[in-house]
């Protein structure tokens, strides 16, 4: 029997995780990523519950632990920076807002990429531009003109999945806004977060935060605001930065410093808080995994674990 081929769209968490398992099962695996390389951005993500079990089964837990960030917990701060309330990392048996095992999203993506890059063909700076399914397989056209023939195509290209759009229908049918927007980026640490996830709440539904990184001079910043759905261009980062300035300028604590950092950050990431609800995760030979199929939103704290577990289950089913 010839080697089966899977084409995976997206090299975030779900894509490389699925690639790991399918390469082990003997598939030829091609991962197509729209960015120039793996995307380093994001804050700490946690690997609680089944997500941690999957990482153990991948044999990657020692590498994950080597990148884990020491965290002290969450502290809600007043405008002058004083701690109003604290939830230590030990709260809820280590399963509170900050969990016992947290790793920067960028480090996790790195670990997954390093674990797969020799067995998997990564194609960066391109995307799937057309799909044509027949009884025996899928013709896949990439934006750079490459033609591939696949047995299976998997969309792991995040909550705004374009492959899902091609096969399942327009995003508006599946994406449920949760009433807010969020930006993440790296910023100079002017306050000394000292292992704390500092959170500042301001009137008008504003939430500014700073979290530790491996570099004591830098923090992972977040600016989130409550809002009804806004019509904006997801590819216009300057417009997104302006939306933050309109809301956070003069809002107190470190907001002005964080706005300045957001202008400079090369890992600036902005999206709405949303969920993805699909009636089915497959259509013929095309499947969805991770946020493309069942984004629970960063508010859930479960996106990473759900991506890891979904990839593991899908690979298990394909391997039967």
Q: Which residues contact ligand FAD (rule: CB under 6 A)?
A: 9-15, 32-35, 39, 41-43, 45, 105, 127, 156-158, 162, 184, 269, 290-292, 298, 303-304, 307
- Least Å distance, CB 250 to ligand FAD, is 26
Question: Which DSSP string do the residues of 263-300 spell out, in sequence order?
Answer: HH-TT-EEEEEEEE--S-SEETTEEE-THHHH---GGG
- Least Å distance, CB 295 to ligand FAD, is 6
- Least Å distance, CB 268 to ligand FAD, is 9
Q: Which of 282, 303, 311, 43 is nearest to 156 (CA)?
A: 311
Distance of CA 154 to the CA centre of its chain: 17
How far is CA 314 from each of CA 62, 146, 150, 251, rounded to the nearest angstrom? 24, 26, 16, 45
- Least Å distance, CB 82 to ligand FAD, is 26
b/e 68-94 (16+ beta carbons within 10 angstroms → b): bbebbbbbebeeeeeeeeebebeeeee
- Is 67 or 127 the residue whose CB approaches ligand FAD more closely? 127
- Least Å distance, CB 237 to ligand FAD, is 12
Place of tokens 């591939």: 148
- Is 252 or 274 the residue whose CB approaches ligand FAD more closely? 274
CA atoms within 13 A on the CB side of 114: 10
- Residue count (the chain): 320
- Is 189 or 291 the residue whose CB approaches ligand FAD more closely? 291
- Is 32 or 243 the residue whose CB approaches ligand FAD more closely? 32
- Is 61 or 302 the residue whose CB approaches ligand FAD more closely? 302
What distance in Å separates the CA atoms of residue 150 and residue 8, rounded to the nearest whole number? 10
What distance in Å separates the CA atoms of residue 320 and residue 315, rounded to the nearest whole number? 9
Question: Quick check: 299 and 277 in contact, CB under 8 A?
Answer: no
Residue partners of 176: CB distance under 8 A and separation at least 6: 274, 275, 276, 277
- Is 46 or 285 the residue whose CB approaches ligand FAD more closely? 46
- Least Å distance, CB 304 to ligand FAD, is 4
- Least Å distance, CB 1 to ligand FAD, is 29
- Is 84 or 234 the residue whose CB approaches ligand FAD more closely? 234
Question: Quick check: 163 and 133 in contact, CB under 8 A?
Answer: no
């Amino acid at each position: 029997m010839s080697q089966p081929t899977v084409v995976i769209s997206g090299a975030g968490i779900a894509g490389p995780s699925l690639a790991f398992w399918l390469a082990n099962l003997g598939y030829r695996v091609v991962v197509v990523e729209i960015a120039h390389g793996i995307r380093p951005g994001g804050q700490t993500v946690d690997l609680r519950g089944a997500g941690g079990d999957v990482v153990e089964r991948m044999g990657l837990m020692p590498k994950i632990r080597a990148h884990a960030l020491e965290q002290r917990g969450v502290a809600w701060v007043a405008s002058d920076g004083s701690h109003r309330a604290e939830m230590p990392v030990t709260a809820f048996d280590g399963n509170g807002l900050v969990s016992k095992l947290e790793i920067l999203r960028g480090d996790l993506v790195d670990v997954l990429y390093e674990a797969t890059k020799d067995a998997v063909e990564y194609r960066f700076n391109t995307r799937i531009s057309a799909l044509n399914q027949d009884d025996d397989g899928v013709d896949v056209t990439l934006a750079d003109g490459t033609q591939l023939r696949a047995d299976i195509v998997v969309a792991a290209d995040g909550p705004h999945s374009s492959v899902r759009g091609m096969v399942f229908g327009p995003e508006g049918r599946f994406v449920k806004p949760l009433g807010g927007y969020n930006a993440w980026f790296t910023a100079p640490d002017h306050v000394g977060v000292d292992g704390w996830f500092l959170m500042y709440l301001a009137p008008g539904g504003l939430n500014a935060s700073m979290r530790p990184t491996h570099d004591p001079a830098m923090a992972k910043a977040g600016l989130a605001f409550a809002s009804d759905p806004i019509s904006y261009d997801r590819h216009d980062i300057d417009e997104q930065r302006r939306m933050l300035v309109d809301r956070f300028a003069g809002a107190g604590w470190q907001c002005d410093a964080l706005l300045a950092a957001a202008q400079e950050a090369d890992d600036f990431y902005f999206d709405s808080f949303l969920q993805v609800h699909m009636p089915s995760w497959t259509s013929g030979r095309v499947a969805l995994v991770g946020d493309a199929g069942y984004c629970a939103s960063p508010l859930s704290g479960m996106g990473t674990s759900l991506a890891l577990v979904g990839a593991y289950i899908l690979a298990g089913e394909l391997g039967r």
